[in-house]
Structure 1
Amino acid sequence: MVQQFKYLGAIISDQGSKLEVLARAAQTLTALSKLKPIWKDKNISVKCKVRFLRALVLSIFLYACDTWTLTAELQRRIQTLEMRCYRTILGISYLSHTSNDQVRTTIQQHIGPYDDLLTIVKERKLRWYGHVTRTDGFAKTVLQGTVEGRRRRGGQRKKWCDNIKEWTKKTFAETQALAHDRDRWRDLVHNSSRRRPNDSTQS
């Protein structure tokens, strides 16, 4: 019996997804730092730098993100990581007191409308949930199965499926039914992944 182990490059822990997300963030920042000559090169456009960032840096962070269970704290950390990456490629120091909204606006001016990192993570997780729900196999058995025994006392740890219910504003039974309709599920994924915590609009 162990508290954590690494499987196919991802950390599996009895403490949830925090260790894996933090490890991914550290690897992402290391890759970001190694590419400093590119970020500082004035002859490379911001648009190209963003493409490099997504292909060479953010792809490291997104590995196996559809398996994560995200708490409010982890969602904030994901947003913080993205802002750090964009500030680096734009050469904006935190001492300049430039707001995150200004950074996002600057990026959008160069590449047009884009999905932020948290939206991509949510969308991948929701798509994987729909895929597993429509298939028959071990993954579906694990997803829908239950374990005998009592739940621990006190506050309960967030479960993987809690994110699905939280983001879609649907019950587990409703999402199960909707996932079998690919078109409706695709629309729900699009809307739910872009909804922010204070947005109570129903899909």
Structure 2
Amino acid sequence: MYWFSLFFCTLYGEDWKKVKKVGSLLGDTEDIERRKQLSNLALEKLSRIWIRNDKVKQVTRLNLYRALVKSILLYNCGTWSLTKQEEHKLSTIHRRQLRTILNIKYPIVIGNNALYQKTSETPISLTILEARWRLYGHVLRQAINTPPNFAMTKYFKREGRKQRGRPKTSIVTTLRGDLKSHNNDHWPTRLHSINDLDHLRDIA
């Protein structure tokens, strides 16, 4: 299956990124753009609820938003490997949607921290971080011969000369960045070899 996937990607070039599986596009950037469009469409369909501040309580509007809009925006987000630019765009859309829920429009202004506090929301980057490591933890706890663990083992055991230049953003580089910024003595700060991977498996 691994080699078939590699052959498929080589044969069809970048087109594989637009293939939809289990509701998500295989390409992270393509899937994120689609998630943003779908969530904004869902938000617009419920516009009559958002503008009725006097009829629908804020807590009810926020619960509806989380169930019917935010869930669409973050569907399968644990698999994403985000660039800083993509993370910033998602955070901007999230805050814009929250302001819509509260019916806050110019010239009314509210800061980001005040917005999160008022809505009891957390920055979307933290939500995605939690989802990513929850998913990765499930993978690490699975048997070694399962497809995700097999793919990881093959990745870290691969031989040959490394490519020059800065590596492309991938789920591996994203996880490495998470570990570097995670200040915890019980967790490793690197993910570069099969030994590092085994260390994470032992902790998980």
Displaced runs of 4 or more, over 4 A: 147-153, 173-176
Amino acid at match of 2:37: A
TM-score, L = length of structure 1: 0.76
Identity, % of aligned positions = 26
CA contact (8 A) 2:38 2:73 kept: yes
| Greater C-alpha Rg | 2
Equivalence for 1:171: 190
TM-score, L = length of structure 2: 0.76
Q: How does 1:1-203 map to 2 (within 5 A)?
A: 1-3=12-14, 4=17, 5-13=19-27, 17-41=28-52, 42-108=54-120, 114-136=121-143, 137-146=146-155, 153-169=164-180, 170-172=189-191, 173-174=195-196, 176-182=198-204
Amino acid at match of 1:131: H
Question: Aligned to 2:50, what secondary structure does the other structure show?
Answer: helix
**Distance in 1 (alpha carbons) for counterparts of 2:90 and 2:43:** 15
**Distance in 2 (alpha carbons) for counterparts of 1:83 and 1:175:** 36
User: How many residues are matched?
Assistant: 174
Question: What does the per-residue CA deviation read over 1:162-200, in whole Å, with 9 as the maximum and x for residues that have no partner?
Answer: 222212222125565245335xxxxxxxxxxxxxxxxxx
Q: What is the RMSD computed on CA atoms of the aligned residues?
A: 2.2
Q: Give the drift of 1:90.
A: 0.6
